[in-house]
Amino acid sequence: MKITRKTFDEVMFPCYNPMDMVIKKAHGAYVYDNRGNKYTDLTSGIAVNLLGHTPKGVVEVIKRASANLIHVSNIFCNEYTLTLASKLVKKTGYEKVFFVNSGAESNETALKLARRVAFDLYGEEKNEIISFNNSFHGRTFFSVTVGGQESYSDGFGPKPAAITHLPYNDTKTFEETISDKTCAVILEPIQGEGGIITADNDFLIKVRELCDKYHAALIFDEVQTGVARSGSLYAYEQTPVKPDILTSAKGLASGLPIGAVLTYDKFASHFVPGTHGSTFGGNPLACAVGAYVIDKVSDKAFLRKVNRTHDYIVEKVSKLNEKYHVFKEVRGKGLLLGLVLDGKYAGKSSELQKLCFKHKLLTLTAHSDVLRLAPALNIRAKVVDEAMELLEKAVKDLIAEN
Ligand SMILES: *Cc1c(COP(=O)(O)O)cnc(C)c1O
């Protein structure tokens, strides 16, 4: 069968508009298409392939585990799932884990849990959820409605109710809004899709304080920032607060679908047999890889390297920018980076992304102003150098076109 980019238009929902290539394979930081082209990848499957593409260790774990067990469902338990849960509990200080298959589902679970806890302890009236403008929490109807972009949730009929969106990092509106009726506050410690915007410490301290005062669960969506992406195992470790409920997904199994909700006994105990569930959640194969990934990326030397690579990329981009003046700043932590377009280039992140693609560099956008980079956490300096040469070519084109 001859497969081309046109096949996508013929047989797939037009929900995406992928670049003009069909990927055949990928190794480390490089992606290869079916016409023999090689691309340097700074996307990692949207912050997923933490250890690069098809890393040897992960392939070995998949081979070994899949020869033993692929799936059994949650009516039985298995060693792989319990191993990953034990590691997550040990490394984070949380007490209980619920596994799902994606970021959206992990937030769906966290939000349902917060509503249930409030319902059990305080009654039906305590059901309001506070979320923030431009946040992204996934695409199930509940999680997308909680997310801060109405255009994603409009047009599907009646929305889940009692959800309020506030400006991010705005302590005043938050203080004015939170009340006894609030059951949950959900936020990304660094807004990813929203433009790589980090929560201010003062804001987080106030949010934590008022969540305690009003008995609202504080949920951190660490789907993108988690699993060492931000330079610590979870991003909250770099803040003065710790959430009651934490959601993780994306990189947790280095490319296999997985999601996890972490919390304390006093919350988890409100879910009993029958309250919530998932057929694939805690899939042994994904959990086997997850256990391998968690061991690798929580290593102190590994995390130091992530932060050194952050500094190296920021330095390289700054040098490039001294020459071309297209970026206003580089935002983000660890290897979740936003190159913010300045002046007349603002709003042109898609154009720059396409120009990068033309030069065989794969990048992401986050909002129309930000070129987002989320390379593999183990990317080598030599590959960064190559990528920066390609970025320079794309930037030159951007200037020529505008
Ligand atoms: C990607 C993302 C999600 C959604 O994850 P899916 O696996 O696509 O459902 C939720 N929250 C954040 C912060 C994300 O970056």
Domains by residue range for the chain, with CATH: 5-55+300-401 (3.90.1150.10), 57-297 (3.40.640.10)
At residue 83, the pLDDT reads 98
At residue 247, the pLDDT reads 99
The pair of structure tokens assigned to 339 is 């190159």
Mean pLDDT of all residues in 283-308? 98
Nearest CA to 50 out of 189, 231, 199 is that of: 231
Q: CA-CA distance, 129 to 165, in Å (whole number)?
A: 9
Ligand 1 nearest-atom number relative to CA 249: 7
Q: What is the pLDDT of residues 345-396, one digit of tens each?
A: 999 999 999 999 999 999 999 989 999 999 999 999 999 999 999 999 999 9
Q: What is the pLDDT of residues 83-134, one digit of tens each?
A: 999 999 999 999 999 999 999 999 999 999 999 999 999 999 999 999 999 9
344: pLDDT confidence band, cut at 50, 70 and 90? very high
Mean pLDDT of all residues in 219-225? 98
182: pLDDT confidence band, cut at 50, 70 and 90? very high
Category of 250 on φ-ψ map: left (φ > 0), alpha (ψ -120 to 50) or beta: left
What is the rounded average pLDDT for all residues in the chain? 98
- Kindly report the pTM of this predicted structure: 0.98
Q: What percent of the chain has pLDDT over 90?
A: 100
CA of 222 to the centre of ligand 1 (A): 9
| H or E stretch at 321 | helix 300-324
CB count in 10 Å sphere of residue 299: 13
Q: CA-CA distance, 287 to 289, in Å (whole number)?
A: 5
At residue 318, the pLDDT reads 98
245: pLDDT confidence band, cut at 50, 70 and 90? very high
Tell the residue number behind the tokens 């070519």, with chain if given.
393
157: pLDDT confidence band, cut at 50, 70 and 90? very high
At residue 393, the pLDDT reads 98
The pair of structure tokens assigned to 162 is 């009692």
211: pLDDT confidence band, cut at 50, 70 and 90? very high
At residue 335, the pLDDT reads 98
Of 99, 136, 139, 142, which is best to mutate to test ligand 1, by the most ligand atoms within 8 angstroms of its C-beta? Answer: 136
Count Cα atoms within 13 angstroms, Cβ side, for 265. 1
Of 223, 227, 234, which is best to mutate to test ligand 1, by the most ligand atoms within 8 angstroms of its C-beta? Answer: 223
Q: What is the pLDDT of residues 11-48, one digit of tens each?
A: 999 999 999 999 999 999 999 999 999 999 999 999 99
Q: CA-CA distance, 266 to 207, in Å (whole number)?
A: 20
At residue 234, the pLDDT reads 98
Mean pLDDT of all residues in 296-325? 98
| Residue 394 CB contacts under 8 Å (≥ 6 apart), including other chains | 352, 355, 356, 358, 359, 361
368 by DSSP, 3-state: which? coil
Of 224, 370, 372, which is best to mutate to test ligand 1, by the most ligand atoms within 8 angstroms of its C-beta? Answer: 224
At residue 381, the pLDDT reads 98
Residues 272 and 283: beta-carbon distance below 8 Å: no
- Which protein residues touch ligand 1 with a CB less than 6 Å away? 102-104, 107, 136-138, 188, 192-193, 221, 223-224, 249-250
